[in-house]
C-alpha cells in the first residue's frame, strides 16, 4: 500500500469552485489555470490559479488512530490562490468575493477542508487578448488554509520467535 493524501489540492479547488458558483451564480464559469493552447471562455468567467503552498506548522503525527498499521501525518498548509474575474461583471464579482472571503460566511461555506485566512483588495489588471482587445480583469489574492493528511503504512510484528539467554551465564563478568 502506498501513501495517500487527503484532502488534495484538487479538493481545495473543488471547494473554491463550489463557493464561487454559490455566491456568483451557477452559470458563471470557474476554470482552473494554467492551461496552454486553450482559448479563454466567451463572456465573463473566473480563473483560479494556485501560486504557492507553504507550511504553517510542524507535522502532527498520529499512530493508528483509525488503523493500528498506519501513520497519519498532518501538515497545516497555507495555499495562495490568485482569483481573476473577467468580463463586464468582473468588478462586481471581485467586490462580492473579497467581501465574503473576509466574512464568517466563507468559513462556514468552505468547511471542512478549506478555510480563508485573508484576501487582498481587488485590483484592476486589464489584459490584452488574442484579438488585441482590452479585457476587464479584476484580480484578488486569496490566502487559504487546508490540512492535508498523508497516511503511510507501517510494518509491525504480529508474532515473535525469540531465544532467551541468561546474561550471567552467557557473558560472565
Give tens-digit pLDDT for 63-117: 876 677 888 999 999 999 999 999 999 999 999 999 999 999 999 999 999 999 9
For the ranges 19-23, 28-32, 120-124, 134-138, the lowest mean pLDDT is seen at 134-138
Read off the pTM: 0.83
Region of 87 (left: φ > 0; alpha: ψ -120 to 50; beta: rest) is: left
CATH architecture of 4-170: 2-Layer Sandwich (3.30)
d(CA 114, CA 109): 9
Contact by Cβ (8 Å): 81, 121: no
Length reported for the chain: 173
The residue ranges of every structural domain in the chain are 4-170
Residue 122 has, within 13 A of its CA and on its CB side, a CA count of: 23
d(CA 124, CA 32): 20
Amino acid at each position: 500500500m502506498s501513501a495517500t493524501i487527503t484532502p488534495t489540492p484538487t479538493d481545495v479547488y473543488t471547494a473554491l469552485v463550489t463557493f464561487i458558483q454559490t455566491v456568483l451564480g451557477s452559470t458563471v464559469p470557474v476554470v482552473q489555470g494554467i492551461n496552454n493552447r486553450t482559448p479563454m471562455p466567451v463572456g465573463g468567467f473566473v480563473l483560479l490559479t494556485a501560486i504557492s503552498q507553504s507550511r504553517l506548522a510542524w507535522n502532527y503525527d498520529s499512530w493508528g488512530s483509525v488503523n493500528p498499521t498506519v501513520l497519519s501525518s498532518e501538515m497545516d498548509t497555507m495555499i495562495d490562490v490568485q482569483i481573476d474575474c473577467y468580463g463586464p461583471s468582473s468588478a462586481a464579482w471581485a467586490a462580492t468575493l473579497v467581501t465574503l472571503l473576509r466574512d464568517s460566511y466563507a468559513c462556514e461555506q468552505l468547511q471542512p477542508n478549506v478555510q480563508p485566512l485573508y484576501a487582498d483588495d481587488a485590483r484592476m489588471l486589464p489584459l490584452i487578448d488574442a484579438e488585441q482587445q482590452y479585457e476587464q480583469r479584476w484580480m484578488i489574492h486569496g490566502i487559504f488554509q487546508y490540512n492535508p493528511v498523508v497516511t503511510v503504512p507501517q510494518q509491525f510484528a504480529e508474532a515473535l520467535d525469540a531465544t532467551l539467554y541468561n546474561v550471567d551465564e552467557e557473558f560472565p563478568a
